[in-house]
Amino acid sequence: MSKFWKPGSERPRATLVDDEEGGVLFFSTPSSEYGRSTLERQKQRLPVYKYRDAILYLVENNPTTIIVGETGSGKTTQIPQYLKEAGWAEGDRVIACTQPRRLSVQSVAARVAEEMGVKLGDEVGYTIRFEDQTNPGTTKIKFLTDGVLLREMMDDPLLTNYSVIMVDEAHERSISTDMLLGLLKKIQRRRPELRLIISSATIEAKSMSNFFQIRKKNRRQEVKDDPGSLKPPAILSVEGKGFPVEIYYLEEPASDYLQSAVSTVLSINDEEPAGDILVFLTGQDDIEAAVQLLADGARDIRGHSSGLLVLPLYSGLPRADQDLVFAPTPKGKRKVIISTNIAETSLTLEGVVYVVDCGFSKQRFYNPISDIESLVVAPISKASARQRTGRAGRVRPGKCFRLYTEEYFVKELPSEGIPEMQRSNLVSCVIQLKALGIDNILGFDWLASPPPEAMVRALEVLYSLGILDEDAKLTSPTGFQVAEIPLEPMIAKMILSADAFGCSEEIITVAAVLSVQSIWVNIRGTQKELDEVKLWFAAAEGDHVSFLNVYKGFLNSGKSSQWCYKNFINYHAMKKVVDVREQLSRLIKRLGIVLKSCERDTQTLRKAVLAGFFAHASCLEEYSQNGMYKTIRSSQEVYIHPSSVLFRVNPKWVIYHSLVSTDKHYMRNVIAIDPSWLTEAAPHFYQLRMPNPALF
Ligand SMILES: Nc1ncnc2c1ncn2[C@@H]1O[C@H](COP(=O)(O)OP(=O)(O)OP(=O)(O)O)[C@@H](O)[C@H]1O
């Protein structure tokens, strides 16, 4: 085993939050007694239980309450129940609790339904994009992603359904959380009876509190405590923790975190008592590699398996495979869950005793100058490390093995991550705010302002798509219609344009496929077979047309899982495609678009794709030996991704859906086009950049 050591004092502790203006409530709790097993008893021994009355009192008397409490102290699962018991869901009122991630929405809702002894989807429900498990007549506690709550604002700008909105895991600072906080602050001014709870284990309560006290009058003037300004939030620090978690650090830095994670898992298996292991790595590639290495390494010299049940967990994994991590561990086995940071917050994986934290995650970084969004493996923050540790110690004591030194943790890791708002493409964010009537986006009440360059870039894209007019207002009807479609604005524009091209039947299939992560099953060691299978479906025009072939094959097979298995196609992803397509077809009918087929006229189809994605055009470099393209917009070097059916085909002109950066910038989901279509579709955009495409 790599050499670990356990510092004498280090254990994550909730900090006492002090705030002169907001009024501190500080309670200390004696250590709890554990051992009784009914759900009711489990609930009562959670640290938050002792604060039940205090929480209800604060919520009753303050528009906003900030609650900071250790991971596992019961914030997410208990507070909504307390509120319901206290009458906040009486009549037709609903209590909302937002999460940044879909997986936690689903799992926390299931847990709360179980604790309340009700069927999920009735009194307790959840909504994530394209999946609604609520009943408008009976749902009283609703878990939802912060993105879904933002969408709900489009139909009900004051969120009048909700009596209390709990924004959980606010420290994650997703774009949607940041937008939500600014908007909720605005709503509170119009709906003083609305109650907000902001909660997290690792939030900087002081700056959050300041945000809720300051009323932004205009861009230059901030007003504190002016008449009618907001009452300062109450801050509650929930003291006490679940079960102890011992933290171990490496004595020496690891040169390869993947190898180090694998050997740590094997050593835990050899040396530590029973208990499942949760390993944090950075992404699907790492995770699949670790799964393979563990499968190879977890055999003894006679080739017998060591009893490890190794399960991957990442957002692109089919739902059924994700569910496996929640299933009870079979007798005599030890589950090893290898996950991205989707398991970092709010999740309770019952059998987990050991956490292995590699200290990195994949983070998005957007460069508004080159317009390239890269997924970069970067060090996590201290807050993330604490969240990861907090996945142990929830139902029994645990251990956390950090694959870095204590000195590195203390000196190198930043206390908090950079808010997503400050490192992302803002196109979707701008359109959503515009749709909610926020015209002056730079002057919006941001928790942390987004970079002006990214904002300008987003405005430019939306203007070129005809979604914003010269006054940066949503155009009618296009802008408003695009805002209604819960997909990237470019996909939404593609769908709307398909109406004029008479190919909406095909385009919504393409849009549905693009909205799932991958329809292919990419298992290590089967790349050759997958490539061969792809050839059967491949269309010379590119990936989007190939998707239609796969979709047709799936329907012709009677939506057979066997057919998918044979063809390396992800059955669950295809079921999702069918479901999303159905929802899109209902949505566009509502927008007045009649479903029409172009009978696979691939030129028409590609022109409709281009109507949304004309800004993503690239041209193959004339003398390039290695398939190098340059983007038209910013002359960036890019290459066709190996997963594309056009990989190595290298047509002269292409349109791509998105760029991913690893060793190079790769274009994913690519179609071949004729350059004259660019000036035809977007003369305003291409006149200056490309005076005469016929010359190319
Ligand atoms: N699915 C589950 N199975 C078993 N116990 C659970 C489950 N979900 C929650 N619990 C128990 O309830 C406790 C509180 O969980 P909860 O998610 O409410 O805590 P939290 O304070 O919101 O933590 P975090 O900040 O990590 O999200 C857990 O520590 C665990 O003991």
- Pull the structure tokens for residue 260: 């180090």
Burial class (CB in 10 A: 0-12, 13-18, 19+), 91: exposed
Which atom of ligand 1 has the smallest separation from the CA of 111?
1
Residue 454 CA to ligand 1 centre (angstroms): 37
Q: Which residues pair with 142 in a beta bridge?
A: 96, 125
Both tokens of residue 605? 């189809």
Q: What is the whole-number distance in angstroms between the Cα of residue 42 and the centre of ligand 1?
A: 10
Whether ligand 1 lies within 6 angstroms of the CB of 76 is answered as yes
**Residue 523: is its pLDDT beyond 90?**
no
3-state secondary structure of 322: helix
Report the distance separating Cα 679 and Cα 56, nearest Å. Answer: 61
Mean pLDDT of 39-66: 94
Report pLDDT for 151.
Answer: 93
Bigger pLDDT: 94 vs 286:
94
pLDDT single digits (tens) 118-148: 999 999 999 998 889 999 999 999 999 999 9
pLDDT at position 7: 64
| Residue 155 CA, ligand 1 centroid: distance in Å | 32
Provide the whole-model pTM: 0.84
Question: Is residue 17 over pLDDT 50?
Answer: no
Judge whether residue 221 has pLDDT over 70. Answer: no
Of all protein residues, whose CA lies closest to atom 9 belonging to ligand 1?
A: 348
Q: Which of 174-183, 512-521, 614-623 has the lowest average pLDDT?
A: 512-521
Atom of ligand 1 nearest to the CA of 395: 31
Residue 27, pLDDT > 70, answer no
d(CA 543, CA 458): 26
What is the model's pLDDT at position 232? 87
Lowest-confidence region among 340-354, 475-489, 492-506, 527-541: 527-541
Query: Tens digits of per-residue pLDDT, 96-110?
Result: 999 999 999 999 999
**47 C-beta closer than 6 A to ligand 1:** no
Q: Considering only CA atoms, which of 174, 200, 193 is closest in space to residue 61?
A: 193
Residue 227 pLDDT level (bands cut at 50, 70, 90): very low
Q: Which of 34, 42, 77 to mutate to test the pocket of ligand 1 (most atoms within 8 A of CB)?
A: 77
Evaluate: CB of 389 within 6 angstroms of ligand 1: no
Query: Which sign, positive or negative, has the C-alpha torsion 451, 456, 461, 463?
Result: positive
Q: How confident is the model at residue 560 (pLDDT cuts 50, 70, 90)?
A: very high
**CB of 457 closer than 6 angstroms to any ligand 1 atom:** no
The mean pLDDT value for 297-326 works out to: 76
Residue 20 has pLDDT above 50, yes or no: no
Mean pLDDT of the chain: 87
Residue type, 336: V
At residue 399, the 3 state secondary structure works out as: strand
* pLDDT over 60 at 695, yes or no: no
Per-residue pLDDT for 25 more than 50? no
Query: Who has greater pLDDT, 109 or 438?
Result: 109
Confidence grade of residue 688 (pLDDT, cut at 50, 70, 90): low
Q: Collect all residues with Cβ–Cβ distance below 8 Å to 420 and sequence separation of at least 6.
A: 173, 174, 175, 178, 364
Most confident of 215-224, 330-339, 617-626: 330-339
Question: Tokens 């050991």 map to which residue?
Answer: 354
CA–centroid distance, residue 553 to ligand 1 (Å): 43
Q: Which CA distances in Å does 487 have to 157, 343, 520?
A: 20, 24, 21
> Which atom of ligand 1 is found nearest the CA of 393?
29
Whether 23 shows a pLDDT value over 50: the answer reads no
Strand partners for 146:
none
pLDDT at 65: 96
What was the pLDDT predicted at 215? 63
**pLDDT reading at 95 higher than 70:** yes
Distance CA 301, CA 554 (A): 44
Confidence band (pLDDT; 50, 70, 90) for 81? very high
> Which pLDDT band, with edges at 50, 70 and 90, does 305 fall under?
low
Question: What is the reported pLDDT for 641?
Answer: 92
The residue ranges of DSSP E strands in 169-227, in sequence order, are 195-200, 214-216, 222-224
Q: Give the DSSP letter of residue 474.
A: B
CB 417 less than 6 A from any atom of ligand 1: no
Question: Which atom of ligand 1 has the smallest separation from the CA of 242?
Answer: 29
Summarize the confidence of residues 346-365 as an average pLDDT. 94
Tallying the residues shown for the chain, one arrives at 696
Residue 359's region, left for phi above 0, alpha for psi from -120 to 50, else beta, is left
Please, are residues 297 and 262 in contact by the beta-carbon 8 Å criterion?
yes
- pLDDT reading at 40 higher than 90: no
Query: Which of 665, 663, 661 has its CA nearest to residue 618?
Result: 665
Predicted local distance difference test score (pLDDT) of residue 524: 60
Q: Which of 559, 552, 554 is nearest to 597 (CA)?
A: 552
Residue 481 pLDDT exceeds 80: yes
The pLDDT of 566-587, averaged and rounded, is 91
**pLDDT (average), residues 350-360:** 96
Give me the domains of the chain, ranges plus CATH numbers: 4-9+241-420 (3.40.50.300), 62-238 (3.40.50.300), 425-483 (1.10.10)
Residue 672 has pLDDT above 80, yes or no: yes
Looking at per-residue pLDDT, the higher value among 473 and 231 belongs to 473
- Tens-place pLDDT, residues 482-498: 999 989 999 999 999 99
Residue nearest to atom 18 of ligand 1 (CA): 74
pLDDT of residue 683: 87
- How confident is the model at residue 441, as a pLDDT? 85
User: Does pLDDT of 19 surpass 50?
Assistant: no
Measured from the CA of 201, which atom of ligand 1 is nearest? 25
Give the per-residue pLDDT at 448.
86
Higher-confidence position of 533 and 651: 651
What CA–CA distance (Å, rounded) separates 112 from 626?
55
Burial 113-124 (b: 16+ CB within 10 A, else e): bebbebebbbbb
| pLDDT for the residue numbered 317 | 80
pLDDT over 70, % of the chain: 89
| Residue 475: pLDDT over 90 | yes
**Would you say the C-alpha torsion 198, 91, 187, 56 has a positive or negative sign?**
negative
Tell which wins on pLDDT, 402 or 446: 402
Pocket test for ligand 1, best of 76, 323, 389 (most atoms within 8 A of CB): 76
- Interface ipTM: 0.98
> Is the confidence at residue 525, as pLDDT, over 70?
no
* Predicted confidence (pLDDT) per residue in 270-297, tens digit: 999 999 999 999 988 889 889 988 887 6
* SS3 (DSSP) at 409: helix
Burial (CB count <10 Å: 0-12, 13-18, 19+), residue 694: exposed
Alpha-carbon gap, residue 164 to 43, rounded angstroms: 21
Could you give the percent of the chain with pLDDT greater than 90?
Answer: 62
CA distance linking residue 11 with residue 360, whole number of Å: 20
Please say if the pLDDT value at position 451 is more than 50.
yes
- Report which ligand 1 atom has the smallest distance to the Cα of 77: 18
